[in-house]
Structure 1
Amino acid sequence: MKQFILSFIALVFFVFESIFAQLFAGDTFGDDKILVPHFMMIFIFFLTMYGSRKMGMLYGAILGLTYDVVYTEILGIYMFLLPFLAYLISKCMKILQNNILIACLTAFVFTAVLELVIFQMNTILSFADMPFGEFAKRRLLPTLLLNLAFIIVSCYPLKRIFEKLDLQGDAE
């Protein structure tokens, strides 16, 4: 039952991210700003922090592959990057205090890392020819602000859900 609930929540985040991107695409917030929701990734980050590393990495790989197939031109980048970031988050949370503020800050930092690595991979593979300064102004900052707002809104409900599901005992 826990796996069904967790899979359903992951699906909701995956679909919600797509719907949000479709609704707010274009010049809704300004013609030169690019907003990229990373709601599914934030779900994986909180799953890793409050659930288990094993579940975070597993869902990261599965949802990353799904994301690659549906949305990206580079197959495998999210499939490998999300489990890797989940692993790094689990290691960071062993060092840092595990309170809600630190968890939000960690999710924010790893969202920035995700966005920067994706940009760098797109630049290396010549899918993007935007200079870093323009990328930071047009995409990175608006994306980080959007995802920070989502982190603030969703951190406590996600924490409660993962604690209630008690994934620590099942996965490790």
Structure 2
Amino acid sequence: MKKFLLPLLFLFLFLLESLFVQYIPPEVFGRNYILVPHFLFAGILFLTIYSGRKYGIIYAAIFGLLFDIIWIEIIGIYFFLFPFIAYLISKIMHVLQTNIIVAFLVSLVGIALLELGVYEMNFLIHITTLEFMSFLEIRFYASLILNAAFLLIAAYPLKRYFESFAESLRDE
């Protein structure tokens, strides 16, 4: 049963991102920040940390491709970066302890890598002309704060769910 709930959880996070973007006001705290939610990717990173590399990379590839098909005009950026960063995070977690604070911090690093990777890819293929310092001020820091707030709320429930998911996989 838990195997069927996992895709539904990620589909919910995918839809939550799009709803958040649709209903967030364009001017936050008196300035025009670009807030980019990565709730789905944070969930994938927690899956990678608590359930294992295999499931993390598979779901990262599937939802990276879905993200590219639906939202991005160039297929491949998220399809490549989601699994690649999930793989890096799984390697990092072999060295570190798997507790919720480390998972929170490592997930924020993964989200930061995703943001930087997407910016660099868009800058290289001339989709954006935004300079790096402007990118940091307008999008990067605001997005990290938003995703950190989401992780503060969702980290413990995600941890509990993925630990029970991993336990059910071991029982099979």
Deviation at 1:28, TM superposition (A): 4.0
Partner residue of 1:94? 94
Partner residue of 2:154? 154
Distance 2:102 2:78 in 1: 24
Distance 1:54 1:156 in 2: 22
Structure 1 pair 4/168, CA: closer, same or farther in 2 (3 Å)?
closer
**Is the Cα contact below 8 Å between 1:51 and 1:168 reproduced in 2?**
no
Partner residue of 1:70? 70
Distance 1:11 1:54 in 2: 19
Distance 1:126 1:165 in 2: 42
Which structure 1 residue ranges, 5 or more long, are not aligned? none
Deviation at 1:166, TM superposition (A): 2.2
Partner residue of 2:9? 9
Distance 2:26 2:168 in 1: 41
Structure 1 residue ranges (4+ consecutive) displaced by more than 4 angstroms after TM superposition: none
Percent identity, please: 45
Deviation at 1:29, TM superposition (A): 4.1
Partner residue of 2:116? 116
Secondary structure, aligned partner of 1:114: helix
Distance 1:118 1:62 in 2: 18
Partner residue of 1:37? 37
Greater shift after overlay, 20-29 or 38-47?
A: 20-29
Distance 2:32 2:17 in 1: 21
